[in-house]
């Protein structure tokens, strides 16, 4: 895994929000791999990014982190909302496992983390976010 001063480097998939094809996305993979980057970040709110990554087969080469659109104007991060968001991301990314970050300033982290306990949850920032591996 590529790092800078011990901090992992993650490639930002927001650049593929619009105007790209899955072939365009896949063309980036060799460069990302050459630099030792093994994680691509995306989000439900990043337009077509999840779908393009799925069509390009990104999950077979990289760990994919995504974010549900909860807490910042979207629905509150409840158990059902986080699970539904994660399942949608699984379908979009064409994979059976994805890391989901569920940011929320409108509900307690314990609500969204406990709510997603079926997804092997690890809370990484109390009252701010919940990271879940959805399968």
What pLDDT is attached to residue 123? Answer: 35
Cβ atoms of residues 116 and 102 within 8 Å: yes
The residue whose two tokens read 């591996």 is 133
What pLDDT is attached to residue 134? Answer: 52
Span 69-117, pLDDT tens digits: 765 566 677 777 777 888 888 899 998 887 777 665 555 555 555 444 4
Cβ atoms of residues 74 and 68 within 8 Å: yes
Does the pLDDT at position 56 exceed 80? yes
Number of domains in the chain: 1
What pLDDT is attached to residue 98? Answer: 79
The residue whose two tokens read 């919940």 is 130
Domain coverage including residue 36: 3-134
Environment class of residue 94 by beta-carbon count within 10 Å: exposed (0-12), middle (13-18) or buried (19+)? middle
Report the C-alpha gap between 88 and 11 in whole angstroms. 21
Does the pLDDT at position 122 exceed 50? no
Q: What is the CATH number of the domain that holds 100?
A: 3.20.20.100
Q: With bands split at pLDDT 50, 70 and 90, how would you rate the model's confidence at 54?
A: very high
Does the pLDDT at position 53 exceed 70? yes
């Amino acid at each position: 895994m590529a790092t800078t001063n011990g901090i992992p480097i993650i490639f930002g998939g927001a650049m593929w929000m619009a105007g790209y094809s899955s072939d365009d996305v896949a063309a980036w993979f060799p460069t990302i791999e050459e630099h030792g980057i093994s994680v691509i970040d995306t989000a439900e709110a990043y337009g077509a990014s999840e779908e393009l990554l799925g069509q390009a087969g990104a999950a077979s080469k990289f760990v994919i982190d995504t974010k549900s659109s909860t807490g910042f104007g979207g629905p509150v991060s409840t158990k059902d909302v986080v699970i539904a968001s994660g399942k949608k991301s699984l379908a979009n990314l064409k994979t059976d496992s994805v890391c989901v970050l569920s940011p929320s300033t409108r509900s307690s982290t314990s609500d969204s983390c406990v709510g997603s306990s079926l997804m092997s949850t690890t809370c990484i920032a109390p009252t701010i976010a919940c990271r879940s591996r959805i399968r």
